[in-house]
Structure 1
Amino acid sequence: MDNRELNRQEWRDSRDVVSFDDEPLILVDEHDREIGYLDKASAHLGHGVLHRAFSLFVFNPQGELLLQQRAPGKRLWPGYWSNTCCSHPRRGETLETAVHRRLHEELGLHCPLQFLFKFEYQAQFDAEGAEHELCWVYAGRSAATPTVNINEISALRYISPDALDAEMAQQPQTFTPWFKIEWERLRREHAQAFAPLTIQSA
């Protein structure tokens, strides 16, 4: 299943609205200490206001990563390919609650998620909008069939790590900036996250 796109017959879809411009995000300083709250739309204006976020990498048992193509209605990086799921914890919400909530809202998946690292980045999309996030990165495994939220995602595919490396080198402009940063660090420091699972005989 190397770099195979999932067609509409292979996944169920959902039309639930799960993103809101007025949802309150958690503002943080460079040490990830909470310093206030701001609605999502305002947090992404201009050069962006530093806020807490998360990024999820879900692999199948063969070690292939589930990629999503961002829906065309997204304000930032519409139509770009990205990792399995990205979003923000809301005011009063823990990371543990937020990551599982969003994975289910976007893809209908439930699986254990392991925290790997966190980092700060700023990426400018255009003159009016940017990401400036303190992002927590998690990885997990699932063999389940996704239920895709079509308000958030326009396409899905599984890809092997080597094929993803090659595609990022050849067409870096088709991927979101945070995904490229995170993937390079996963490859360098967290190879166990995507190693194929082996079944041991009795």
Structure 2
Amino acid sequence: MSAGREAHLVELVDEEGRPVGEATVAAAHRSPGMLHRAFSVLLTAPGGRVLLQRRAAVKTRFPLRWGNACCGHPAPGQAVTEAATIRLGEELGLAPVPLTEIGVYVYRAQDPATGRVEVEYDHVLLGRIAADHSLRPDPAEVAELHWTPLGEALSGIDTRPDDYAPWLAGVLSKLHLDSQGSL
């Protein structure tokens, strides 16, 4: 992650998600961490598949672990879907797609490799695209992309949890299959 992004401001929130202040990305993720607004985007494709992103090696938190399609932080006062749409373009080269909030996941996780801490009020957003949709991942953000059935992703988290970002199971728990097995 670029040093510039670490200087961006995030919105500190209380347990109900109400704004209570601001901090830089770097300060909010320094131990013991500060609860702040974030977003996690899940991209799904027909057939119950989700797009997983292997985070780039230069990430300051949980590098080289598999996570959801895109994560980030809105600036204080910025709409979550607006911030997520921008990050999808920056990270994946994805043109704007409709995003729907499907829940909030609040979590705390410390990265044993970097000592950084995630304490996030995470808005989980869902977008639907075709699996053959053209994506142009930024190598400074993304090491690898992989479409996988939801069940396989959950099984992988259960059997190899250290391969995955610690928030992924909670974010995926917001997805629901319909009677045809689609997300």
Q: Say what the alpha-carbon RMSD is for the aligned residues.
A: 2.0
Question: Does the Cα contact within 8 Å between 1:18 and 1:105 map onto a contact in 2?
Answer: no
Residue number in structure 2 paired with 1:90: 75
**Which residue is equivalent to 2:27?**
42
Counterpart of 2:10 in structure 1 is 25
1:125 aligns with 2:114: no
User: For 1:118 and 1:18, how far apart are their aligned partners in 2?
Assistant: 28
- Tell me how far apart the structure 1 counterparts of residues 100 and 77 of structure 2 sit (CA, whole Å): 21
| Counterpart for residue 129 of structure 2 | 142
Q: Does 1:75 align with 2:95?
A: no
Structure 2 gap ranges (5+): none
Deviations 1:24-69 (A, max 9, x none): 1011111111111111011100121110000010012232111100
**Distance across 1 between alignment mates of 2:93 and 2:48:** 20
Query: 1:5 aligns to what?
Result: none
TM-score, with length taken from structure 1: 0.81
Counterpart Cα distance in 2 of 1:83 and 1:33: 25
* Superposition deviation, residue 195 in structure 1: 4.3
Deviates most, 20-29 or 121-130: 121-130
**Structure 1 position 151 matched with structure 2 position 101:** no
Q: Secondary structure at the match of 2:115?
A: coil
Cα distance, 1:167–1:38 mapped onto 2, change above 3 Å: same
Check conservation: 2:42, 2:50, Cα contact below 8 A: yes
Select the residue among 63, 68, 71 that pairs with 2:48. 63
Compute the displacement of 1:18 (Å). Answer: 10
Q: Percent identity?
A: 33
Deviation >6 Å, runs of 4+:
none
Paired letter, 1:130: V
Cα distance in 1 for residues equivalent to 2:49 and 2:4: 27
**Distance in 2 between residues matched to 1:153 and 1:65, nearest whole Å:** 16
* One of 145, 155, 176 as aligned partner of 1:166: 155
Q: Secondary structure at the match of 2:84?
A: helix
Task: Report the CA distance shift for 1:66/1:23 in structure 2 as closer, same or farther (over 3 A).
Answer: same
Asked if 1:176 is matched to 2:162, the reply is no
User: Does the 8 Å contact 2:105/2:170 carry over to 1?
Assistant: no
1:91-115 alpha-carbon deviations (Å, 9 max, x no partner): 2311121111111111122211111
User: 1:19: Cα distance to partner?
Assistant: 6.1
- Structure with greater Cα Rg: 1
1:116 aligned onto 2:106: no
Instruction: Answer yes or no: is the 8 Å Cα contact 1:123–1:177 preserved in 2.
Output: yes
Gaps of 5+ in 1: 1-16, 198-202
Structure 1 contact 56–85 (Cα < 8 Å) conserved: yes
Secondary structure of the structure 1 residue equivalent to 2:167: helix
Secondary structure of the equivalent of 2:124? Answer: strand
TM-score scaled by length of structure 2: 0.89
Amino acid across the alignment from 2:20: I
Q: Is the 8 A contact 2:13 2:21 kept in 1?
A: yes
